[in-house]
């Protein structure tokens, strides 16, 4: 009986010390916290005035005021961050899809191509989290 427990503890210890597991934990933490903080900031504008990231085409065709759109974006980001915390196997793909939409949005705004490139890096990291979650996420 003790041998089984010792083997289980050794396997857990080995997994925890593996670079892949550590990468998973880093990405899991980052993609939980960052979307929640960015989503909350849509309400407070402490980091940036997020309304500037809506392309003119969206503001012209949308019946919803730009700031209200960004508040909805904030809610989506908060939900996505909580989702990654609880179900990274699913929500890492949701975040990756959301980042793809953000990249397309940014490519519609002249002068934000550098931000789109940064978000492409985040998109790749979200996909890496999704793949690592297949092995390391519980539930």
Domain count, the chain: 1
Spatial CA neighbour of 25 closest among 96, 128, 139: 128
Q: What is the pLDDT of residue 6?
A: 55
Domain assignment present for residue 11? The answer is no
Instruction: Say whether 94 sits in a helix, a strand or coil.
Output: helix
- Confidence class for position 58, pLDDT limits 50, 70, 90: confident
The DSSP symbol for 1 reads -
pLDDT tens string 105-138: 999 999 999 999 999 999 999 999 999 999 999 8
**Residue matched to tokens 């699913």:** 90
Q: Is the pTM of this model over 0.95?
A: no
Domain assignment present for residue 14? The answer is no
Domain assignment present for residue 2? The answer is no
- Cα distances (Å, whole numbers) of residue 34 to 15, 31, 48, 54, 132: 25, 6, 14, 20, 18
Residue 11, pLDDT > 60, answer no
Instruction: Say whether 99 sits in a helix, a strand or coil.
Output: helix
Q: What is the pLDDT of residue 42?
A: 97
Residue 12, pLDDT > 80, answer no
Residue 94, pLDDT > 90, answer yes
For residue 132, the tally of other CB atoms under 10 A from its CB is 21
Domain assignment present for residue 109? The answer is yes
Domain assignment present for residue 4? The answer is no
- In the predicted model, what is the mean pLDDT of the chain? 91
Q: Which domain holds residue 46?
A: 19-136
What phi-psi label fits residue 54: left (phi over 0), alpha (psi between -120 and 50 degrees) or beta? beta
More confident residue, 16 or 101: 101
Residue 36, pLDDT > 90, answer yes
Domain assignment present for residue 73? The answer is yes
Domain assignment present for residue 7? The answer is no
Tell me the C-alpha distance between 122 and 70, whole Å: 20
Residue 104, pLDDT > 90, answer yes
Domain assignment present for residue 122? The answer is yes
Tell me the C-alpha distance between 52 and 70, whole Å: 10
């Amino acid at each position: 009986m003790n041998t089984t427990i010792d083997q289980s503890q050794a396997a857990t210890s080995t997994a925890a010390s593996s670079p892949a597991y550590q990468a998973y934990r880093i990405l899991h933490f980052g993609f939980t916290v960052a979307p929640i903080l960015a989503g909350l900031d849509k309400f407070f504008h402490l980091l940036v005035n997020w309304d500037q990231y809506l392309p003119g085409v969206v503001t012209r065709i949308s019946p919803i005021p730009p700031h209200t759109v960004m508040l909805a974006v904030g809610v989506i980001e908060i939900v996505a961050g909580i989702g990654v915390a609880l179900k990274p196997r699913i929500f890492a793909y949701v975040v990756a899809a959301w980042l793809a939409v953000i990249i397309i949005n940014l490519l519609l705004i002249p002068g934000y191509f550098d931000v789109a490139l940064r978000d492409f890096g985040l998109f790749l990291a979200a996909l890496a989290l999704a793949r690592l979650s297949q092995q390391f996420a519980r539930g």
